[in-house]
Amino acid sequence: MDTSGSELSVLSAALKGAGIRMTHQRIEVFSELQASHGHPSVTEIYEGVRKRLPSISPDTVYRTLRLFSELGLIIPHSSTSSVTRFDVNVHEHHHFVCTRCSRIFDFTSSSIDPLEVPREAESFGEVQGVQLEVRGICRDCLRRERTQEE
């Protein structure tokens, strides 16, 4: 659970650079993330931090993880938006996922299709499908953010 000083300096630099305070809560959430394996859920981080900061609230963990995502310290896995969405198009295609509004855009690509499954992926189990997932900020969100900057 103890995070090395070099890792903490990453947090320190990121927060200082954005003019954001270095709080106990943020340090502990960051440490918990570093100590975690795989792709931790909010609850897992919350329960871990709670052992050292028993009074921390779930809200703070949510807020902090959102902040860290904005700072690029962590990456939310796919749609953070808490609604399940379905793809009616079952043919092979790829996705551009907007990290702001979480809309999903389809595309195919002449340069990479048909996309083959890397050997490394097959060792995990039975493959059902493979697709490219491009994360980014969509045109609409870019325009909206530029407008607000004025």
Rounded CA gap, 10 and 16, in Å?
Answer: 10
Q: Are 27 and 8 in contact (CB under 8 A)?
A: yes
Instruction: Note whether 28 and 52 are within 8 A (CB).
Output: yes
Q: Kindly state whether residue 1 participates in binding a copy of itself, applying the rule CB under 8 A.
A: no
Residues 6+ apart with CB under 8 A from 109: 94, 132
Q: Alpha-carbon distance 58 to 54, whole Å?
A: 11
Sites for DNA among residues 31-60 (CB under 7 A): 41-43, 53, 55-60
23: partner contacted, choices Zn ion, a copy of itself, DNA, none (Cβ within 5-8 A by kind)? DNA
Residues 123-142 close enough to bind Zn ion by CB under 5 A:
138, 141
130 binds a copy of itself (CB under 8 A): yes
Residues near Zn ion, by CB under 5 A: 98, 100-101, 138, 141
Which chain residues interact with DNA by CB under 7 A? 15, 20-26, 41-43, 53, 55-60, 62-64, 66, 82-84
